[in-house]
Structures are given as C-alpha cells and as structure tokens.
Structure 1
Amino acid sequence: MSQVIDRPDLSAAAVYASVPDRVRRRDELFALLADAVAHYPWAHWQARMRSGGVPRGQLRSVGEAIRSPEARA
C-alpha cells in the first residue's frame, strides 16, 4: 500500500503489522483502498501496481470481456 497509494503510514502502523491484524481490520483497509482508488482511473493504478510488483487485473462485465482486445485476439 505504501508504494501504490502513497500511504507509508499504513505499512508502518503496528495495528497492521501481521496478517491476522490485517484480517481483523479488513473492512478498514478496504475502505482506505476504495477511497484512494476513487480519485484516479484504472490506468493510473495499473501502472503504479506494475511498478510496485503487485498482481493486477481489470474487472469487466461479461459484455466488456467479450468485446475486449484479449477476447478478440
């Protein structure tokens, strides 16, 4: 999160130090992510995730998937 959404405070926070801590606070983390990603389009986040080594993919409706360049290929 610190690399992708520019929130180094979150990766340094003791309340998120372990996987069980993050699972317990999952709703909080999802809210933080939702707020951050709402400000920029997918292309912005895709590039940031790529540079941070984060696996990524765009969620598409069935119609979008069928019309996608990948499906046409």
Structure 2
Amino acid sequence: MIQLLKNMPVATTPDDEHGRDGSLKVLTALMGIFFIFGAFYIPIKQIKSEVRRLRKRKERELKHAQGSTAGQ
C-alpha cells in the first residue's frame, strides 16, 4: 500500500499559474487601501458636516444678537 502511494503522481501547479500570486498581492493591497479609505472617509465626512452645521448656527445666533442690540 505504501509503495502504491509513493508511485502516485503529485499534483503540481503549472508554471503559467505562478503569476497569480503577484496579482493576488496587488488585489489584496487595493482592497486594504479601499477599506482604510472607507473607514476614515465616512467619519471625516460626518464630522465636516457637523462642523458646517454648527458654524451656520453660530453665524445665525451672532446675526440675531447683532440685530437685537441694534434696535435698542
């Protein structure tokens, strides 16, 4: 039985398929970049919109305060 196993052919990868290792590394790197970009882009976008909203509110309050003091 052991002799039979020793004589069995071993499945090997053809030489033309070794190039896939490089493309797999590139694909993995691109996926990592997009993951990091997405992980930071969405919170930064939310923070920017919140800052914009607070600035507009502050400007409105400032204009309202100036308008009420000018009428006195």
TM-score normalised per structure 2: 0.24
Higher helix share: 2
TM-score normalised per structure 1: 0.24
Higher alpha-carbon Rg: 2
Greater RCO, 1 or 2 (C-alpha within 8 Å, sep 6+): 1
